[in-house]
Structure 1
């Protein structure tokens, strides 16, 4: 027959082990609430402008995910409301039409490229207005792939170094930009990038400017 004393000792030991295991878990493995220092862009608003059809998926996905992870609020604008579709099948809900965009409400405007850009964004007066107002108001203005063409049309690349997908090179030059064959170019608060292969560096450059870097 096991004595009451032995049973009590075993029970105490088991409780001690359980408490130690819990303490170790809470110290090393328990989910922790995000700290403010890990969300440097908290409170900032970023507007992504996409072609309603055939924007380039990676060019949106990389900065969208990174900036949201850092605490920014993200919004999508296009030429119409509904569900915009990327070249590779990515679907995003459009929050605003271009004519509804109030630039003053955002900290950054990001133009996404893709083969739909010439049809939906080039020579689009509202897209050009947004780019020009964002620049004049000191916002971060970014564009990738074919989308730097919109910045060129807005006149904000004149005399500045910029890059873009090779088929937009001549357009940038015609509008007075100094075209450089680099993946990502930062000039003041303007970020331009070549294409999907530069999407992650593009995202990081935007994040750095927004965080004051």
Structure 2
């Protein structure tokens, strides 16, 4: 596969309790493909994953300029619920869809996409506990491990983190 060195994505993690493998495994897949990955959160202090891994975000969600990126990816874990009512996070998702960018959400972050209103009439999956949120917001919930509908890629949880990363790389290579 050709290197995707001309591609740039932003991954959004919670400041606390993002799901470690849902972040690190897709990030590794993207970087191995040559993609430039920026990481955003609600602050730029040390973010801590559910399983104890840490990461210092590059930027604030407030500072994301969607036009700078080829994809916007929201990472799951219980902490991602902080973005469910975050106006800037939801507007980033909406703007990414309007601009035709790749938009990803894994695990509970699938609900973030649904709450942004971008999953209506789209096939999507998420952590099973959030399935009703997808349905209530017009998504066609499939319960698959990874679902791709146009430029929107969703995954059901940590066990699908590698496949989610592979799907993101494939879509960015199209």
TM-score by length of 1: 0.80
**In the alignment, does 2:148 pair up with 1:186?**
yes
Distance in 1 between residues matched to 2:156 and 2:143, nearest whole Å: 8
Distance in 2 between residues matched to 1:44 and 1:162, nearest whole Å: 24
Runs of 4+ in structure 1 off by over 4 angstroms are none
Higher percent of residues as helix: 1
**In the alignment, does 2:92 pair up with 1:130?**
yes
Q: Which structure carries more relative contact order (alpha carbon 8 Å, separation 6+)?
A: 2
Q: Does the residue aligned with 2:78 lie in a helix, a strand or coil?
A: coil
What is the alpha-carbon root mean square deviation over aligned residues?
0.9
Tell me which of 68, 82, 88 is aligned to 1:105: 68
Distance in 1 between residues matched to 2:2 and 2:26, nearest whole Å: 15
Gaps in structure 2 of 5+ consecutive residues: none
Q: What residue is the counterpart of 1:142 in the other structure?
A: 104
Q: What residue is the counterpart of 1:7 in the other structure?
A: none
Tell me which of 116, 131, 154 is aligned to 1:154: 116
Q: What residue is the counterpart of 1:79 in the other structure?
A: 42
TM-score by length of 2: 0.97
Distance in 2 between residues matched to 1:185 and 1:68, nearest whole Å: 22
Distance in 2 between residues matched to 1:72 and 1:39, nearest whole Å: 11
Distance in 1 between residues matched to 2:143 and 2:111, nearest whole Å: 15
Bigger Cα Rg: 1
Q: CA deviation at 1:39?
A: 5.0
**In the alignment, does 2:172 pair up with 1:198?**
no
Gaps in structure 1 of 5+ consecutive residues: 1-37
Tell me which of 54, 65, 78 is aligned to 2:28: 65
Q: What residue is the counterpart of 1:52 in the other structure?
A: 15
Distance in 1 between residues matched to 2:158 and 2:105, nearest whole Å: 12
Q: Is the 8 A contact 1:39 1:69 kept in 2?
A: no
